[in-house]
Structure 1
Amino acid sequence: MKTKYIVRGLIATLLLAFSISSCESYNEELLDGLGNTREFSPIGLTAIIRSQTTVELNWTVKEGENNYVVEFSADDPEFKTIFKTVNVTANQLPIRVALEGETTYSIRVKAVTPGLEDSKWSVITATTLAEQIFLASVDGDIEAKQVTLRWTPNSNVTQIVVNPGAITHVITPAEKASGIAVVTGLTGETSYTADLFNGTKKRGNKAFTTAIDIGNGILVKTTDNLIQKINDAASGAVLVLEQGDYTAQSGIVTLNKSITLRGLRSYSKPLVKLNFVLGAGASNFSLIDLDLDGTGLTDPAAVSNGLITFTGASAIFGDVLISGCKVHDVAKALVYGNASLAKVKSFTVENTIVKNVNTTASADFIDFRLTYVADIVIKNSTFDTCSTGRDFVRVDAGTGLTGTGLTTNVLIDSCTLYQVSNTVAPKRILYVRFVSNASIVRNTLITSTTAIYTNQSGTTMPTFSKNYYSGAPSFMDATIAANKIDASGTTADPQFTNPAGGDFTIKNQTMIDNKIGDPRWR
């Protein structure tokens, strides 16, 4: 019995001691709050990397605190060497501090108030990305066999390395001062990456594709008859159009051969007013760096149903491409395929701005019905006020093709969609009914539309990643019947510069950092 009471007594004593200790800790904090001699350490400290090498710092401001000291140490968690010190007031938060690239910074913040001892440090780390001091290219910088590269003048830089080929250009003192250098020895129509160095430290990175080296291409001038040039060209020919206005020769061009039409200069796109009907034999067809105007175009034969129309039962088509173009004021579809048992390997739209296309609601925007398409790829492009009252991508279950082991794949990547498929009764971005289908939508910004992705049982649930919506609530509205929503999506205002004027430059820093939408607007 005595042993039992002794044990109980010990337990009670320990609990009492713990309780007193807790009360003393609480009272100490309370007394500090009432008459402390030292400032409290900042809490809620966050560090976000913005624009590659700028860190945005924020923390919770305590009433009465106004002044802070921020110290940065580069690749040095013990703060043996202070890289930078910044004095901050509460009303300056959040602050952004420019740092060097590819460095892990230890960052500490303390509160400073006259009459009180400085607070203890609050510490956080942040790792910057590769520095980017390359400036945007201007018209004429990228040629077929050389490139002019620009960076912030008087920056500490020593050499440029261009790959593939490890082409090294040593920067002269004059080039360093001006921030301009020309790298030669390149090949036309080739994708390159240029890295700017100071010694071994990278200070900039730029991807570019060299312009066309005409070579065996056929140069077309505004004084030529464009339609005749197209008709006379051999299968597989590349017609290279000088800048200028070609709309004097307008109409519907029927093709039974592979051909490429492209502008000579990507920054000065030739203005063309043609629609194209592709028949058997037109295996590969490309439109590159053109300004394609559909204003007033009609087809008396009623064969053309948009910018590009596939015809020919059982015809086999290869790759069809629209790249680097401006497409506008086309009354019907961007592409239309209703040729029975015909097959298309791929249809791709990239680096293109499309405006006021499919405005008469007589078809869908990308419209494959009896014609099978294996891959639809839509990337790095902007779609402005297109397909009002109709669907964006439509792929039907073509008789004799669907259910035979074929699959249609749709990819929408890094695009900006504004007022697309907008109507009171929700239209669909993905109206895909081919029996075997798969869709991916990622890094895309959709705004100002009542559209949904799909409400079709035959459309396989799309895969979504890093998509943003503004004024487009239906994409995430599970109350709409049969609606297949993007549960991972984010609603946020992109802060467009002037959408009514076609300027979709975004000011929302989070979207910029996350690389959302058409890259040209970031």
Structure 2
Amino acid sequence: MKSIAKMKAPKTLMVLALCSSMLGACKEDEQDLLFEPARAFTPVNVMTTNGETEAKLSWNPSLFSNREETTYTVEVSTTQDFQSIATTVVVDTAYAVITDDKISIKQDYYARIRANAAGNSAASNWVVSPVFRITGEQIFLPLVSTEIKDKTAILRWRPTNGVTRIVLTPAGGTATEIVLTPEQLTARAITLSNLTATTSYTAEIFAGTVSKGITTFTTKEPSIFTYTLTAGSDLVAAAASAVSGDVIGLEPGIYDASVASILIANKHITLRSTSGNSNDTKVLFKEITLKGTGAGVRVNGIEFDGRNTAGEVNAGYFINIDAEPGTLSSITVENSSIHDFKSAFIRGNRAANNAIKIDFIKVDNTIVSKNGVDNYQSFMLDKMDINRVDITNSTFNEAGRGFISYATNFTPVARPIFFIDRVTLNNFGSGDRDNVIFDANANVVDFIMQNSIMANSPKPGQVVKGSAIRAGAGSSVEFKNNNYFNLLGGAPLAPLTFPSYVAMSNNKNVDLGWTATTTDFTLPAGSELRTAGLGGTAIGDPRWAR
């Protein structure tokens, strides 16, 4: 027995040692499982979203945060050194919303964010956001050029509770506070009076002490006519005898210029209604012809009707640029109505490449309609050396085979700019054309279309190809804050496509129910399109959002 006991003792010691070793290993494994490194704050993207009344900061969650509730501290400052903290918030989400009761509007800020200490994890390092701001509300509606005069201006705003006052400040002058009356609040409009001509003003609207929007405008020069015509006068003869710089005033009534063209050769003149109202001043026209160096025209406050006295459509073009080479001045069409013509709204492609030069073409606060099915886009600007085209606050209904053509390949002296803002374009496209919104072919241009509504292409019974826009390599093409629907092309019909080089953002496809026969484009009350524009404003021609 003694010999047996002696043999078991070492074995027992070995077993005990082995168990002790295993227990030790188990404790080490347990310690490894409980080990938590300091949390690494790893935002691949710290993103900021600016809003009218708040700004949102968002980030990727911290690593190792899935076992416990993680909180974050967000500090906001106007400088990246964070010497002065404007506000601090603690959140348990991977985002934070900073409101306008915490920080000022229209002021740039930075935020720094860290995961707070929790359990065995220490607080993370700070991570700094990109710059952000609260833009402030914009309840002012877009200004209407005909409502801005030399001594008065009308401001309108969208329905907003609590509006109390407007502060009006002339450039370099003293601010004046205007307390809004119950009548003005009901109308959501105010007529400012006793203004100074050709002066820039800034108006800011408030609800108590909170800013609800800012707008700027410049009053017009006093309306001074070189001479005036009475209804029935010979407008063709008046234009022929005018000298460059003349402003011809048209008294209310009807003028017949449907037999011969209104020729403006080697001079720039203005045709303007004395009333400023296109509803009471009408010209029956054949076309306005611009010819030679210095030629140009500005029309304001006139209805141009392309029918003759028998009611027959007689006009080919509204403005037709002659083939004679030359450096023209400019074309401005504002506060007018042009309708019933067969071909192009403006045709400028008759001459050779670069033979016609012009500073700018501007169309504002104008309705153009009943453009017949023909071989031209509404704006036929091929081969022209042109610095800038601005088309704003206007409606084009039953337009040309396309909207803008600059499609003949050539080398302009200057890179042209095409700017389209707050335009309503309905019922256009025909003749199997491609790129029916804008076609620059291989020409290098700057093109911006924004805050606009386009619908219904092609025209009934017509076909177009499948692309919306074309421009040359190196062009800058932006298409933003627009709404478009029922724009179709190709065979079989499919939605028009936009090439990849078009920078598209914040566009919508809200079907408003318009057809080829629609003439009233008023946006429905409460429509999201009433706030879809830049700065939270309505899109399309502003007259349809009043």
Using structure 2 for the length normalisation, give the TM-score.
0.62
Counterpart in 2 of 1:288? 300
Query: Which of 404, 418, 423 is equivalent to 1:415?
Result: 423
1:293: how far off?
1.6
Query: Deviations along 1:257-278, whole A, 9 cap, x unmatched?
Result: 1111123344444222232110
* Alignment check: 8 A CA contact 1:154 1:177 kept: no
How do 1:11-30 residues align onto structure 2 when only pairs under 5 Å count? none
| Residue equivalent to 2:170 | 163
Asked if residue 328 in structure 1 is aligned to residue 344 in structure 2, the reply is: no
**What stretches of structure 2 of length at least 5 have no aligned partner?**
1-17, 36-48, 55-85, 90-98, 104-132, 459-463, 534-538
* Alignment match, 1:361: 374
1:506 aligns with 2:523: yes
User: In the alignment, which of 26, 29, 37 is matched to residue 9 of structure 1?
Assistant: 26
Q: How many residues align?
A: 419
CA contact (8 A) 1:254 1:277 kept: yes
Q: 1:259 to 1:2 in 2, by over 3 A?
A: farther
SS at match of 2:530: helix
Distance in 2 (CA, whole Å) between partners of 1:178 and 1:326 is 31
> What amino acid is aligned across from residue 261 of structure 1 in structure 2?
L
What displacement does 1:336 show?
0.9
Aligned to 2:362: 348
* AA at the equivalent of 1:342: I
**CA-to-aligned-CA distance 1:79-119 (integer Å, 9 cap, x gap):** xxxxxxxxxxxxxxxxxxxxxx96569xxxxxxxxxxxxxx
Does the aligned pair in 1 maintain the 2:378–2:403 contact within 8 Å?
yes
- Counterparts of 2:161 and 2:30, CA distance in 1: 73
1:221 maps to what in 2?
Answer: 230
Q: Secondary structure of the equivalent of 1:410?
A: strand
Question: 2:249 aligned with 1:240, yes or no?
Answer: yes
- 1:210 to 1:137, Cα distance in 2 relative to 1, 3 A: same
Given that 2:445 and 2:476 are in contact with CA atoms closer than 8 Å, whether structure 1 keeps it comes out as: no
What residue is the counterpart of 2:393 in the other structure?
A: 380
1:393 aligns with 2:404: yes
SS at 1:235 equivalent:
coil
Distance in 2 of aligned mates of 1:186 and 1:5: 93
Q: Does the CA-based 8 Å contact 2:318-2:345 persist in structure 1?
A: yes
Paired with 1:228 and 1:385, the residues of 2 have a C-alpha distance of 32
| Residue 114 of structure 2: aligned partner | none
In the superposition, the TM-score normalised over structure 1's length comes to 0.64
In structure 2, what is the equivalent of residue 446 of structure 1? 454
Change (3 A) 1:349 1:150: closer
Residue 519 in structure 1 maps to residue 528 in structure 2: no
Please give the per-residue CA displacement for 1:48-89, whole angstroms capped at 9, x wherever unaligned: 97xx789xxxxxxxxxxxxxxxxxxxx9999xxxxxxxxxxx
With 343-352 and 197-206 compared, the bigger mean Cα shift is at 197-206
Corresponding residue for 1:339?
351
How far off its partner does 1:469 sit? 1.9
Residues 146-192 of structure 1: per-residue CA shift (max 9 Å, x gap): 346688999774664242353655557xx735438764442346554
* Structure with bigger gyration radius: 2
Q: Flag the 1:276–1:102 CA change in 2: closer, same or farther, 3 A.
A: farther
Counting only pairs closer than 5 Å after superposition, residues 191-270 of structure 1 correspond to structure 2 as: 192-196=201-205, 201-202=210-211, 205=214, 207-208=216-217, 210=219, 213-247=222-256, 251-256=260-265, 257-269=267-279, 270=281
Query: CA distance change for structure 1 residues 162 and 243 in 2, over 3 Å: closer, same or farther?
Result: farther
Counterpart Cα distance in 2 of 1:200 and 1:190: 27
SS in 1 for 2:261: strand
Q: Is the 8 A contact 1:306 1:334 kept in 2?
A: yes
Aligned amino acid, residue 510 of structure 1: E
Of residues 291, 299, 302, the one that matches 1:279 is 291
**CA 240–186 in structure 1, closer or farther in 2 if over 3 Å, else same:** farther
Letter in 2 for 1:386: A
Classify the secondary structure of the residue corresponding to 1:306. coil
Label 1:419 to 1:362 Cα distance change in 2 as closer, same or farther (>3 A): same
Shift of 1:315: 0.6
Report the secondary structure of 1:6's partner residue: helix
- The letter for the 1-side match of 2:344 is A
Instruction: Give, in whole Å, the separation in 1 of the partners of 2:190 and 2:510.
Output: 39
1:311 Cα deviation from its structure 2 partner: 1.5
1:176 is matched with 181
Q: CA deviation at 1:213?
A: 2.1
Secondary structure in structure 2 of the residue aligned to 1:407: coil
Structure 2: how far apart are the matches of 1:135 and 1:491?
Answer: 20
Distance across 2 between alignment mates of 1:499 and 1:207: 36
* Contact 2:334 2:365 (8 Å CA) reproduced: yes
1:169 and 1:226 map into 2 onto residues whose CA distance is 45
8 Å contact from structure 2 (residues 482, 506) kept in 1: yes
Distance 1:294 1:223, change over 3 A: closer
1:216-264: per-residue Cα shift (whole Å, max 9, x none)?
5433332533333322322111123333333477641111111111233
CA 15–233 in structure 1, closer or farther in 2 if over 3 Å, else same: same
Residue 510 (structure 2) pairs with residue 493 (structure 1):
yes
CA–CA distance in 2 between the matches of 1:2 and 1:405? 92
- Higher relative CO (CA 8 A, sep ≥ 6), structure 1 or 2? 2
Q: Judging changes above 3 Å, is the alpha-carbon distance between structure 1 residues 181 and 409 closer, same or farther for their aligned structure 2 residues?
A: closer
Distance of 1:377 and 1:181 partners within structure 2: 28
Quickly say closer, same or farther: Cα 1:281–1:248, change in 2 above 3 A: closer
CA contact (8 A) 1:420 1:449 kept: yes
CA distance in 2, matches of 1:139, 1:431: 29
Map 1:424-439; keep pairs closer than 5 Å. Answer: 426=434, 428-433=436-441, 435-439=443-447
Residues 89-168 of structure 1: pairs in structure 2 closer than 5 A: 103=101, 129-130=136-137, 132=139, 143-147=149-153, 157=164, 160-164=167-171, 166=173, 168=175
Runs of at least 5 residues in structure 1 that lack an aligned partner in the other structure: 19-46, 55-74, 79-100, 106-125
CA distance in 2, matches of 1:511, 1:150: 17
Distance 1:292 1:283 in 2: 20
Distance in structure 1 (CA, Å) of the matches to 2:163 and 2:416: 51
How many Å apart are 1:454 and its aligned residue? 3.5
Query: Partner residue of 1:115?
Result: none
- 1:448 and 1:195, CA in 2 relative to 1: closer, same or farther beyond 3 A? same
Aligned residues: CA RMSD:
4.8
- Contact 2:225–2:248 (CA under 8 A) maintained in structure 1: no
Q: 1:356 and 1:159 mapped to 2: Cα distance?
A: 41
Q: Distance in 2 between matches of 1:348 and 1:139?
A: 13
